[in-house]
Amino acid sequence: MLRLFVGIDLPPETKLALSVIAQGLPGVKWVDPGNYHVTLRFIGEVDEAMAADIDVALAELRARRFPMLIAGVDLFGTVDKPRILYAGVERSAALVELRDKVGQALGRAGVPPEGRHFTPHVTLANIRAGHLTDLGHYLEGNNLLRLPEIAVDRFQLVRSYLTRAGSLYEAAAEYPLA
């Protein structure tokens, strides 16, 4: 079985800029900067035949290039029970359109629809537990984050490997945008 998702990889300079703020907060498990990406759609575990169908469906997708902006930091969960610390991605019509087209292509390939609301983001850390007394200060100190605009000209089908050290990602296929 293959564990897959569809995402947008980030340029090295964006990963570097995010890695600079990914520190100084005890009680979290920081994501390796090489794994920074924007998930368009999590697929989960599929067999080789389904993965091939997904690849064909995504290769037929047509969408335009667009600019993307990373700005601010926030949490999934609450300040009392935080789960994920992330850098926000400004929602744009082009980003939502690409995400919707990915969902339609996956549907044609037989992947069931995803029920979660789309909140574009880059995961910076998984929050385990413990004394997160500095979390409020961290959010306050980084909420004005605004990185240079990214030119999105492709997206990827990514294979995810779960290890004890964390997830490892490998691009299984790449799809250019017009």
What dihedral angle (degrees, nearest 10) is formed by the CA atoms of 45, 51, 53, 57? 90
Tens digit of pLDDT for each residue in 145-173?
999 999 999 999 999 998 887 889 999 99
Mind listing the pLDDT tens digit for each residue in 24-72?
888 789 999 999 999 999 999 999 999 999 999 999 999 999 999 999 9
pLDDT of 110 strictly over 90: yes
Beta-carbon count within 10 A of 66 CB: 17
Q: Which residues contact 159 (CB under 8 A, 6 or more apart)?
A: 2, 3, 4, 169, 170, 171, 172
Domains of the chain are 2-176 (3.90.1140.10)
Question: Where does the pLDDT of residue 111 fall: very low under 50, low under 70, confident under 90, or very high at 90 and above?
Answer: very high
For residues 4 and 159, is the Cβ–Cβ distance under 8 A? yes
123 within 8 A of 106, measured Cβ to Cβ:
no
Give the CA distances from residue 125 to residues 3, 35, 84, 92, in Å, rounded to whole numbers and listed in that order: 20, 11, 6, 24
pLDDT of residue 129: 67
Q: What is the pTM of this model?
A: 0.95
pLDDT tens, position by position, 112-152: 998 889 999 999 999 876 556 788 889 999 999 999 999 99
Which residues belong to the active site? 37, 121
